[in-house]
Chains A and B, each alone.
Chain A
Amino acid sequence: MTRSAAIVLILLILGDAIAEIFALPIPGAALGLAALTAAFAIRGGPDTGSEELFDFAAPYFPLFFVPAAVGVIASLDVLAFAWIHVTVAIVFGTGVTILITGLVSQALMRRITEEAQA
């Protein structure tokens, strides 16, 4: 597990440094994720250490969002101005996204089920 933690830390710092050097718009963590996924794909699956590390950390995931979320108090002025955009995005945006994604994937996946049965 320590070895996996070291690898994850190295990948993250490499990713952040590369994102900074090349001024990429994506977060460095995304590059680290891509590299680790590629490594797992090559070796045919995650190693035990990484699996243990993930399973250990997964239940605490939401805790790690909290410091960023508290930042909303530093942006109450933005919220006061933007609340209508925020509300429309959450209610209308999420509703439409769920409906369209559900209908499209149902239509597309029905086809593969039929092909499998045929």
Chain B
Amino acid sequence: MDWISSFERQPLFAVCLTVAAYASAEILWQRTGKPALLHPVLIATTVLAGILIVLGIAYEDYLRQAQPIDEALALLIVLLAVPLCRQFSLIRKSGLPLVTALVVGSTVALGTALALPAVMGVGDDLVATIAPKSATTAVAVKVSERLGGVAGLTAVIVISTGMFGGAFGPLILELGGVRDDRAKGFALGVASHAIGTARAFQISETAGAFASVGMILNALLTMALAPVAFAFITSG
């Protein structure tokens, strides 16, 4: 089957495969009414994983070609300065309470993610993989890589975290007696990043704005706290 490898050798083969898989997944997602369980990243990932396995392409070979897409992620993190500055007045107005809630939320996110691995004493790579799970995917993947985690697994865990928060978060908040839209949004943003934020915008504009703030601030704090938590657990 020589003709297949003629396709695989093209420098943009993996980029083409990735964009096409994502575009199809997005169309499916939009046609089905955007359910959390059919999140396009999850579907595109599953489809691509299947294609790589069927064609017998090693992940390293795929990643070498798809590198430009992966690297662009870091550029997008730098650009997060734009939404951060847009929400600046909101952050300043809610100031200290918001920052306090952020520190509590971010610590709880790290603590609950790492409680079981810490108690059971798993490998350092697994701790690094799970630690940044509540941060937005771009940030979480970079934090995981930096600490020696398995970036691919981190990405899937982060997206699943978002899906869980988006699907069950509003119910949990309801049962817990959280009525304030600002608090609902902030909690969804801190715990389940962009997917939670998208869900918060369905609650109200206020919830969405606070979710955006929560997501961005938690991404920043996770970059600072995850290495500390990691050092604490892996040394003990």
B38 interfacial contact with A, CB 8 Å:
no
Q: Are B108 and A90 in contact (CB under 8 A)?
A: no
B16 interfacial contact with A, CB 8 Å:
no
Chain A residue nearest in CB terms to B63: A67
CA of A82 to CA of B177, assembled, Å: 34
**Number of contacting residues on B, CB 8 A?**
112
Q: Are B157 and A68 in contact (CB under 8 A)?
A: no
Q: Which of A21-66 contact B (CB under 8 A)?
A: 25-30, 32-33, 36-37, 39-41, 45-46, 50-51, 53-54, 57, 61-66
A103 interfacial contact with B, CB 8 Å:
yes
On whether A73 and B52 interact (CB within 8 A), knowing A32-B78, A98-B187, the answer reads yes
B150 interfacial contact with A, CB 8 Å:
yes
Q: Are B80 and A93 in contact (CB under 8 A)?
A: no
CA of A28 to CA of B223, assembled, Å: 10
Q: What residues of B have a CB within 8 angstroms of the CB of A84 in the complex?
A: 116
Q: Are B79 and A99 in contact (CB under 8 A)?
A: no
A88 interfacial contact with B, CB 8 Å:
yes
CA of A19 to CA of B146, assembled, Å: 10
The list of the 9 closest CB pairs from A to B, nearest first, reads: A71-B152, A101-B105, A108-B97, A25-B227, A102-B187, A27-B142, A105-B101, A106-B183, A93-B112
10 contacting pairs across A/B (C-beta < 8 A): A69-B152, A82-B122, A86-B157, A90-B161, A93-B112, A94-B109, A97-B191, A99-B176, A103-B183, A110-B180
State the B residues within 8 Å of A (CB): 14, 18-19, 21-22, 39-42, 44-45, 48-49, 52-53, 59-60, 62-63, 66-67, 69-70, 72-86, 88, 94, 96-98, 100-101, 104-105, 108-109, 112-117, 120, 122, 125-126, 129-130, 133-134, 137-139, 141-143, 145-147, 150-157, 159-161, 164-165, 168-169, 172-173, 176-180, 182-184, 186-188, 190-192, 194, 196, 214, 220, 223-224, 227, 230-231
